[in-house]
Amino acid sequence: MNILVVSAHPDDEVLGCGGTIARLSEEGHEISILILGEGVTSRYKNPEEADENELAELHAQADSVGKFLGAKSVTLADFPDNRFDSVPLLEIVKAVENAIDDVKPEIVYTQHGGDLNIDHERTFRAVMTATRPMKDSTVKRVYAYEVPSSTEWSFQKFAPKFTPNVFTDISDTVDKKIEAMAMYEGEAREFPHPRSPEAITAHAKYWGSASGLDAAEAFELVREIQ
């Protein structure tokens, strides 16, 4: 199958479904990753002062991470970090539509729409628009993934709440997920931060225990067409 993973920022794809990407790739599926945001400029008081070398390094890391997980391609857009709400939604929709036209995916994984981060919410909205069930659409399933340090930090106060109903066994790929996250040198954190190796492991084991597995990633099936 052709599968498209859409994320707002470099590292969301790993935190949300890195173990699943690695597993699906090992099973022979073709995975393409679209990262919509440039991922750096919100760290600066004046976005125009952002270090171009830092930006280039982060994008190089994203490409390396994708290859490490087994993705066929990684495409990076340049929407402003943590300011997707300053961009017309149509522009984000068109970026996702272009990726869908290129990849022709049967399955799309994307951010959960009730996250704390505004870019995640806008990404979800854009994906829902771009994957609307037209007669000639290749997309048969859309999954939403959670991102530690955003999904749970909304404390279920933003709609929709994350209610997972699909669990992917990543017992054999959770270590690869952790290694991939470590490749994002500026994004990984020390425990007890949710992006630490210990927290990622604990999270995988939590969803594993909820689904009878050693380790799992949780998803919400948004739509399936059979």
116-127 per-position pLDDT tens digit: 999 999 999 999
Q: Give this prediction's pTM.
A: 0.95
pLDDT at 47: 65
Report the distance separating Cα 190 and Cα 188, nearest Å: 7
CATH number (3.30.70.1400, 3.40.50.1970, 3.40.50.10320, 3.40.50.1820) of 2-224 reads 3.40.50.10320
21-53 per-position pLDDT tens digit: 999 999 999 999 999 998 776 666 666 666 778
Asked if residue 104 has pLDDT above 80, the reply is yes
Asked if residue 209 has pLDDT above 80, the reply is yes
Percent of the chain with pLDDT over 70: 96
Q: Could you tell me the residue ranges of all domains in the chain?
A: 2-224
pLDDT at 39: 75
pLDDT at 73: 97
Q: What is the mean pLDDT of the chain?
A: 94
